[in-house]
Every structure is written in C-alpha cells, then in structure tokens.
Amino acid sequence: MDNDEKCRKMIDDIQGVIAKASDRRYVSYEHHGRRVSVRSDLKGRHREHCLCHVCFDFKPGKEDNCPYAQILFAFLCLPGGPTVSPVWECEAFRADADKLKEMKKCTE
C-alpha cells in the first residue's frame, strides 16, 4: 500500500468515526469509490442545488466545457478531498432554457 492509499484509508476511517459519533443528521456512504459524509437531507440532491447543471457552458467531458467547472472537477478529484461541491453562485453563469426544462421534469 503506497502513501496515497494509506492516507485515503486513514481519511475514510476518520470520516467513518466522525459520522458515527456525530449527530444522526449526517450519513456516511460510498460515493464514486470514496467514503464520504453528508447531511442526510442533502444526500443525492446535488443537481437540484448546483448552477452548473442548468448552465449553457457546462459540458462535462467536452473540450469546450466551462473552465471553472473543469477547475472545480480537478479539485474534487484530489485524494482525500470532497467529491461533490454544488455551485450556488457564479459570475460566469448563463441559464440554458433546455437544461432548465429538463431539470424541472426531473424534480416534479
């Protein structure tokens, strides 16, 4: 086991202990292969809150994806870091009418 793996395991163990010892409003679960903790009322609701998912410039996996989304994604992929971080405020946000319609269908 290399140092990165050891650090990830240690972080997973610590997060598990914290989640068990803390208020029951928080849950710990596996997300994209990583053990994470989240407020139970927010679990699985990232897309509802994140501006990126209804932004014209958000094109994950494509060369012309929003540069801010790319930077945020790179940060979220760092070992031991968070895996999800909704964007509530963004200077570059441009609403995409089609994405807004699709999101509305998903939340009805």
- pLDDT, position 56: 94
Look at residue 92 in the predicted model and tell me its pLDDT. 94
Full-model pTM = 0.64
State the 10-residue block means of pLDDT for the chain, 108 residues long.
76 69 77 87 89 94 94 88 88 89 69
Of 52, 16, 21, nearest to 34 by C-alpha is: 16
